[in-house]
Structure 1
Amino acid sequence: MRASWSALHTSLIRKLNLRSSQVDFQAMRQADPELAAFGSIPALLEHQHARDGDPAARFAVIRALVMAAQSDQRYRSTAHLMVIVALWPGLDAVFWRLSRGFPDRRDDLPAEIVARIGEAILTLDLDRVTAVTATLLRNVERDIRRDMVATRVVGETLKSIADPVIEALVVETAESVEVQPQDLTDHLACLAQRDATLLRRVFLLGETQEEAGRALGLEPAAARKRYQRALAKLRSQQKAPPVLSHSGSPVGL
């Protein structure tokens, strides 16, 4: 069974409560004046999670922790964990936004978010980034959302056209009466890639023609024109008899 989001947080806190982590933090305090003001890891985390704290001071602490995590010092692993836990309120908001958008992937999100934020901490270019906290959280949510949307589109596209929901959409919209139980990709293979993607977004993601077109860089009028033209081509393809190759197998479908 996958660890729940709250259980994962508890596990991270438990690691930071180890004596070895406390020893590492004392070394970090000696190396960076931004951390010296905090006598313990819990004191630092309380400061970072306080709603009425000074944002500039919190950002400075996060930057110092990220620097420690990217260093070659023995305390880098502890600093890495501290950044994740210090960012937890923001990560919690990311988790719930993504879980609402992708409820079927909720069990995968805890590990995915922690893995992504962990990698982002180690690869962040501090010389080019000022808003460390916002950059880390925004990039993690953007990358996970992008990958999950892509996975959803691929998964739905590879569904059999016999799926009643997709079949109903295709039959009703394309006015087809003889849709065979084939891969949806086969039915769209006659279209240009952008037109096929436009139809997939409308059929499978429930986007309007304008929304799907905007995602593809099309003006609303151009998106509607492409949509209607793609449906017309689908209708003509489905009415036409299949073209056989020399081996007797259908081609072009």
Structure 2
Amino acid sequence: SSTLGFQRRFDALRRAQVALAQFGDPAALLDGLHRTNGDPAQKNLILCALVEAAQGDGPASDCALTLLLLALWPGLDAVRRRSIWRRIGTADEVASDVLARTTEAVRGLDMGRVNWIAATVLRNVERDMIRARKRDAAREVMASGADPDDAADSGDAGIGAAGYARLNGAVRKLLGDDALLVIRVAIEGFSQAEVAVELGLTEVAARKRYQRATRRLRDALEKIP
């Protein structure tokens, strides 16, 4: 059966990758990666092993890629939802684009230049989707003969790229180093755990910093007449 075949390919991965040896089946691996209280560094080692295998050849490569897509799916689903909100495409188009771009990102990842696998892949996929939408919007404007400046704010969030830049600057003035954390969570929709990995923090530290920062932001807003 296909399930038995996948298990056999997974067993081959376990034999080839030390970081995967502790997991008896794919479900155990995914459970370990999705556990919120797991060690981020250990999870990253597992993802590194999967990327290395996915960049190889043969059935084991496809198995590793499938496991990576499943492992990253909570983050990819957040990218999918934000992309639909940005009106990058229909739900089906966005889902297909997310999976295609993730596959491309994994296959082409330079492991010598990447520290955190999940944060890098998710950030690159979302960035590339936004850039592609902006290029499409610019071409549409040029084809219609409208003002090219109208394309400048297309494809980002509802406030547009210029508005986003102004918001980013204003939040940084109020919160300093914690601005990126608040923007990622409150505006861009990333989870605190995802941003913790990106910023090199523990999830507990990120949660405490986010709570302090939002209190400071709320206090500042209350002072505005």
Normalised TM-score (structure 1): 0.58
Which of 70, 81, 84 lines up with 1:99 in the alignment? Answer: 84
CA distance in 2, matches of 1:76, 1:203: 37
- Percent sequence identity is 34
Q: Any idea what SS the aligned residue of 2:12 has?
A: helix
Q: What is the aligned residue count? A: 164
Query: How far is the alpha carbon of 1:204 from its aligned partner?
Result: 10
1:218 aligned partner: none
Where do residues 225-244 of structure 1 align in structure 2 (5 Å cutoff)?
none
Q: Conserved in 2, the CA contact under 8 Å of 1:99 and 1:109? A: yes
Structure 1 segments (4+ residues) deviating >2 Å: 103-107, 152-159, 197-208
**Which structure's residues are more often helix, by fraction?**
2
CA distance in 1, matches of 2:89, 2:49: 37
Which of 124, 132, 137 lines up with 1:152 in the alignment? Answer: 137
The higher relative CO (CA closer than 8 Å, separation ≥ 6) is in: 2
Over aligned residues, Cα RMSD in angstroms?
A: 2.9
User: 1:11-55 CA deviation, whole Å, 9 max, x = no partner?
Assistant: xxxx9x721110011111111110000000000011111112111
1:198 aligned partner: 149
Relative to structure 1, the CA distance from residue 155 to residue 52 in structure 2 (aligned partners, 3 Å threshold; closer, same or farther) is same
Where do residues 164-243 of structure 1 align in structure 2 (5 Å cutoff)?
183-184=145-146, 197-198=148-149, 200-201=151-152, 211=162
Q: Any idea what SS the aligned residue of 1:146 has?
A: helix
1:118 aligned partner: 103
Query: How far is the alpha carbon of 1:154 from its aligned partner?
Result: 2.3
1:86 and 2:86 matched: no
Q: Which amino acid aligns with 2:67?
A: M
Which of 42, 55, 60 lines up with 1:75 in the alignment? Answer: 60
Q: In structure 2, list runs of 5 or more residues that go unmatched.
A: 167-225
Q: Which amino acid aligns with 1:49?
A: H
Q: Which amino acid aligns with 1:211?
A: A
CA distance in 2, matches of 1:57, 1:72: 25
2:41 aligned partner: 56
1:44 and 2:35 matched: no
Normalised TM-score (structure 2): 0.64
CA distance in 2, matches of 1:113, 1:199: 26
Query: How far is the alpha carbon of 1:58 from its aligned partner?
Result: 0.9
Q: Any idea what SS the aligned residue of 2:124 has?
A: helix
2:181 aligned partner: none
1:29 aligned partner: 14
Q: In structure 1, list runs of 5 or more residues that go unmatched.
A: 1-14, 160-182, 189-196, 216-253
Structure whose alpha-carbon radius of gyration is higher: 1
